[in-house]
A and B are shown apart, each in its own frame.
Chain A
């Protein structure tokens, strides 16, 4: 290797490292700015509040990381959250009063069955979308845009447009409970993130996900079942959405068809801000966790600083664009 090549390499590495650390640096900068402007920001109560807010779309963003790593996209997750939340609610209540009953005596079912219903609904919906993407080669954007409408429609049908509220204590623990000072949803988010991180970095499946995103043709030629990976990834984000739907219903003590509106964009933003490339093949769960925290800190901090909700939207939008532009710049430099 010549000196020029070696230096070129270290330059590429420097940019690769910079690209990896940038979200973390942004996050710390935001925390410092907000804390200095409003010391209340750093109170443990507020910090856990941020974490709790982040955790539900964080769970979905973890699933979205896999999808974006294979150059895909899933716009249906918000609708899936609503649909699966309603599935959980119906099971927990044993039906809907005055419309239909699932159990003979009109009593509700155990929270575990409700959670299972939500997760199953999400996973099956994700799997169906995955089939359309993998086998019919319909662009993921189109499939999930359609799915977004379909699942929202199913949610409206289940709830007949209205909310289903009032669950038992055990059901509510998953969204509102605490273990020590830590809210339960935060622990669920952490567990999902940890498992996803292990799968992506340590297993053959994780490697296949990166390979498919990096160069699908090369992956196929090397014996990787590209359709299988694609299917699994969409089923996986369906699973995450189902789980998120259950936790959200539990936290709000209510499920309704408009729940989770806009979650798709928040989740995509978290992934992209976290440094996972929309072109696939690079990025990962760690970045997404930081991206999700960053989004949460930004929203919370702006509220605490009494920034108007209208201005908040403008700022969040600008930051997303800046993050993608930065990602693009880094990619070009590290080539």
Chain B
């Protein structure tokens, strides 16, 4: 059966119910061969259930999963050509680093010398010292254990590698390092990676494409760029991090009216059939002080506080009319000319805002 590369792994109307509760609702998705695909969603969005069905630890209530055209539903977990890196890593505590990595090869009956050679290759590839082979897994640090879990999964030589939030327990700096390493390993191996996380930021760094999940369904699928620039709704926009959201209703062909302040704001594009929704403006496109004075979309407010964010500096401005909190960012070396507690104008270009329905 020939399949084009656009549907390497295909999910067709997958639904999973636990009693009355629907964890995954009618999900259809096509994952391409060799891509880094990430499912993002808050806890309870169904992403873990989805991945557990894909590796064979749960059965879908309805729908079909196909890998290269072959139906996966009834294939037991130990017969699927896929492998997962667990959130808890699930390293075998009674086995050494080498024995952990070699586990799948031992099960498959690969001879010990060949196994050891492959395990040592993987240790090297994952930037672990080869003499870790005989070390106990519990003697290794968090980052090392992470790499061992990945090596163990790679040793299985899966057609798809699944990741269940493996980085969530690590501290910020180590997580950032491993995110990049993971992306490098994806490139080196050329394998299909399917990753789940609750952090869109993490997904952005690594993924070729992202699917955003909410309450068991998929809200949006696209490249990080597409999702960043065109979030389909307020949920997606806010999920990406700090944004200014303003509840608005349609005022004209290219304008909306703020529901709280009654002021009119220009937009560059009006979605078809829009009546009311939200205007989304990122803090980094907001202008403050002199830079905002000649803009059409303006709000007056008081600078309440400032926060140093490293390369940027963020201001919290409280609108005089509505007391709504606005966030504005400037580069660290180009701060706003005024002071905290000053009354200022803040504003944005119509093209820098995004208008979404509910």
- Do A and B interact? no
**Measuring CB to CB, which residues of chain B are less than 8 angstroms from any residue of chain A?**
none
**Measuring CB to CB, which residues of chain A are less than 8 angstroms from any residue of chain B?**
none
